[in-house]
Chains A and B, each alone.
Chain A
Amino acid sequence: MRNLIQFIVILFLLTTNIIASENQKYTNNIIIKLSNEKNLNSYLSEFDIEFDKKLGSNIYLLKVKNRELLLDIADKLNQKQDVFYAHPDYIKQMIPR
């Protein structure tokens, strides 16, 4: 009985995780903010990604060639000293009020 409850709990947690990750929809791009653009080109070649467009002051949209690596690349970029943040280009629901 105890094992069954544990199994149900684990199954529930797994399902919740799957739903959570499905809710976090994103495009094939990463948005990055750098302290300056000095290292941008070296990051493009290091992670095999492409420059798409400038979105704001030191904020760039970068295209990831292999979508499966997107979260991993964002993670690694976040570890760079001159990167304020790097995150997927999330898709959000615009809720009229």
Chain B
Amino acid sequence: MLGQFLILIGIFVFVGCSNDATNETDSSLVSNEPYYYQQWYLEYDSNFYTLNSIDSNAHIHSENLLNTYTGDGVKIAVIDEGLDVTHEDLSVAIINTYDIATNTTDVKHTSSSGYHGTAVTGIIAARTNGIGIAGIASKSQIIFLKTKANMSDSETIELFNKAEEFGAEIINCSWGTYDVSPAVKDKIVELSNNGRDGKGTIIVFASGNDDRDMANDESAIPEVISVGSSDKDNQRAWYSNYGENLDILAPGGYEIGITTLDDMGLNGTASTDEDYLLYDDSNSFIGTSASAPIVTGVIALMLEKNPKLTRLEVENILHNTSDKIGGEVYENAKDNYYGYGKINLSNVMYSFNSPL
């Protein structure tokens, strides 16, 4: 009798452990994130795509790669206007913060309706934890550097210096001025060429949402990776800025948004789920600000696979693996409105090897 009882206990313990293990495995799969089905920019989902009339190739072809690569340990600086460091889907990702205005580590949004930095950072680094969404580089480490609405050139340079000091390998900039000064340009070029112990820091800029030439914008600096937007029809989004230095497009949405994080609770701008900006929220996240972090996340996966890649190698891989969308004739593989085409994560990751 006692023997049977012990066996029964044993079975219960085994089943319990098995369930725990299963749950742990489940929450480590991106597809088990509650809002993953609506992250149309990552992967094709038959129901969601049909329901929203999305072109079957509008995504970045993440396939199963977000379960294989996570950007583990890759340090990414996000220079933006504020961050909810307490966000349930992001907080553990943050390793350094700095606010240029106060010279402190407090980087929360200045306005209670602020959301931009949280939305941008969420696309890159939201955790795969069974909560919310899947970030593209879900184990990357975030250095958040808070801007001011009006910044002097020396303050902008200071933020890039901070990114360098904190060891950023990639810097995401979902902003611009259309009027970059020589000194700021020099700093960006210097980091792009000499950062990461000479391999070059990879600096990603959003090209802007004004359907105009990038002209003298930060995104037009040849050494940065300049990112424009594609839409749900897998075309260049009408608002996406263009120019001879545009590198690549990534989904930025138009009629539907890029599902990402909002500041938690009553803060932020979301109207459906207060902690997330869903694709159909009346204030959904749309624009090249959303496209740039998609590319930043992809680069983090590249550096995880091969940390020795130089900035130039990263740039070349992105150029050579992009999808030539839009029915355009790409002269010398390039078009002023589409850059080298739309990013394709699957092509990117299978195009180079890990170091021996």
Verify A97–B80 contact, CB threshold 8 A.
no
Cα A92 to Cα B161 in complex, Å, equals 18
Verify A93–B177 contact, CB threshold 8 A.
yes
Shortest B243–chain A CB gap in Å is 15
Cα A27 to Cα B174 in complex, Å, equals 25
CB neighbours of B156 from chain A (8 A): 92
Verify B187–A59 contact, CB threshold 8 A.
yes
Is A55 close to B, CB under 8 A?
yes
Is B104 close to A, CB under 8 A?
no
Closest to A57 in B: B190
Is A20 close to B, CB under 8 A?
no
Which size class do A's interface residues fall under?
20 to 34
Verify B181–A87 contact, CB threshold 8 A.
yes
Is A18 close to B, CB under 8 A?
no
Closest to B290 in A: A97
Verify B288–A55 contact, CB threshold 8 A.
no
Verify B174–A94 contact, CB threshold 8 A.
no
Verify B157–A94 contact, CB threshold 8 A.
no
Given contacts A56-B187, A59-B186, A97-B209, contact A92 B287 (CB under 8 A): no
User: Which of A31, A53, A55, A92 has the most chain B CB within a 10 Å cutoff?
Assistant: A92
Which of B123-131, B135-143, B145-153, B274-282 forms contacts with chain A? Answer: B145-153
Given contacts A92-B150, A94-B149, contact A55 B175 (CB under 8 A): no
Interface positions, chain B 61-119, Cβ under 8 Å from A, are 80-81, 116
Verify A97–B206 contact, CB threshold 8 A.
yes
Interface positions, chain B 187-209, Cβ under 8 Å from A, are 187, 190, 206-209
Given contacts A95-B177, A96-B116, contact A90 B187 (CB under 8 A): no
Interface positions, chain A 78-92, Cβ under 8 Å from B, are 84-85, 87, 89-92
User: Which of A53, A90, A94 has the most chain B CB within a 10 Å cutoff?
Assistant: A94
Verify B182–A33 contact, CB threshold 8 A.
yes
CB neighbours of A96 from chain B (8 A): 80-81, 116, 174-175, 289
Is A26 close to B, CB under 8 A?
yes
Is B183 close to A, CB under 8 A?
yes
CB neighbours of A84 from chain B (8 A): 182
Is B53 close to A, CB under 8 A?
no
Is B47 close to A, CB under 8 A?
no
Is B176 close to A, CB under 8 A?
yes
Closest to B117 in A: A96
CB neighbours of A93 from chain B (8 A): 149-150, 177
User: Which of B152, B156, B178, B206 has the most chain A CB within a 10 Å cutoff?
Assistant: B152
Verify A90–B150 contact, CB threshold 8 A.
no
CB neighbours of A55 from chain B (8 A): 154, 157-158, 161, 183, 187
CB neighbours of A27 from chain B (8 A): 152, 154
Interface membership of chain B positions 320-353, coded 1 if the CB is closer than 8 angstroms to chain A and 0 otherwise: 0000000000000000000000000000000000
User: Which of A55, A91, A96 has the most chain B CB within a 10 Å cutoff?
Assistant: A96
CB neighbours of A95 from chain B (8 A): 175-178, 208
Shortest A63–chain B CB gap in Å is 11
- Contact partner, A89, options B152, B179, B207, Cβ 8 Å: B152
Apart from A56-B186, A94-B81, A96-B81, 13 more pairs, CB < 8 Å? A29-B152, A29-B154, A31-B153, A55-B157, A56-B187, A56-B190, A91-B150, A92-B150, A92-B156, A94-B151, A95-B176, A95-B178, A97-B289
30 contacts between A and B (CB under 8 A): A26-B152, A29-B152, A31-B154, A55-B154, A55-B158, A55-B183, A56-B186, A59-B183, A59-B187, A61-B154, A85-B182, A90-B179, A91-B150, A92-B151, A92-B153, A92-B156, A92-B179, A93-B177, A94-B81, A94-B147, A94-B149, A94-B175, A94-B176, A94-B177, A95-B175, A95-B176, A96-B81, A96-B289, A97-B208, A97-B288
Seen from chain B, the residues whose Cβ lies within 8 Å of a Cβ on chain A are: 80-81, 116, 147-154, 156-158, 161, 174-179, 181-183, 186-187, 190, 206-209, 287-289, 292
